[in-house]
Amino acid sequence: MKIWIACLATVTMMLTPLASADAQQQTPRPTIVLVHGAFAESGSWNGVIERLRADGYTVIAASNPLRGVASDAASVAGVVNAVATPVVLVGHSYGGPVITEAAAHSGNVKALVYVAAFAPDAGESAIELTGKFPGATLGAALAPPVVLPDGTRDLYIQRDKFAHQFAADVPAAQAALMAATQRPVAEAALNEKAVTPSWKTIPSWFIYGSADLNIPPAVQAFMAKRAGSRKTVVVAGASHVVMTSNPKAVAALIEEAAATQ
């Protein structure tokens, strides 16, 4: 009888770890969906993507139309809803309002990561938040608006001011390429008020640079605190494109958000 009980205990101990491993394998690893902001494009995430892929994550760099918060969010939500796994939704700059709204229309978003990004409450716009604390110098760096046939006014950063304003800690040659490939944002998009602050119901993480000239660090600290950020990382000396200049730190925070249950 004692031998039988001992054998049973041994079998139980052997099976328990296997059962746990099976359970872990059945839980799908989240997909990372990255959303660029104004004056940037999907390539701004390349360094982050390389690190996430090396660590085994599936990554999608969604194209952000930069036309308006509601319409851009609908576009991103379409991408997210096509993903079969849970999603960590990451936004840079104006991509912040977009992921905030998109998450409200996607049932599989488990975490939000704001990378030098706006996290608006209902009724707030990017422009309004920018001016909440001093330090933003974007206005003086903008080129005259480009008026499209439908009356939409597109905004660009002047090429000779792009590096200092947007990417001061990026190598000069790379910053020049970023200036040439910058995507314009509709002026109306920056003034469009947010509707659904999904950070109130979905856990959030924040990372930004202490030398950001587009969104003052004080504004980002305010938004992170208001959102109840699970972890806020401030990268000393980093510019607005912290994901380009410090991809390791950004990827690490995204992975931390992805690993949180």
The per-residue pLDDT for range 143-177, each reduced to its tens digit, is 999 999 999 999 999 999 999 999 999 999 999 99
Q: What share of the chain has pLDDT > 90, as a percent?
A: 89
Residue 14 pLDDT exceeds 80:
no
The per-residue pLDDT for range 31-90, each reduced to its tens digit, is 999 999 999 999 999 999 999 999 999 999 999 999 999 999 999 999 999 999 999 999
What does the chain come to in residues? 261
Task: Return d(Cα 81, Cα 73) in angstroms, integer.
Answer: 12
The per-residue pLDDT for range 83-116, each reduced to its tens digit, is 999 999 999 999 999 999 999 999 999 999 999 9
In the chain, the N- to C-terminal Cα span, in Å, equals 43
Residue 226 pLDDT exceeds 70:
yes
Ramachandran assignment for 123, one of left (phi > 0), alpha (psi -120 to 50 degrees), beta (any other): left
Q: What per-residue confidence (pLDDT) applies to 26?
A: 63
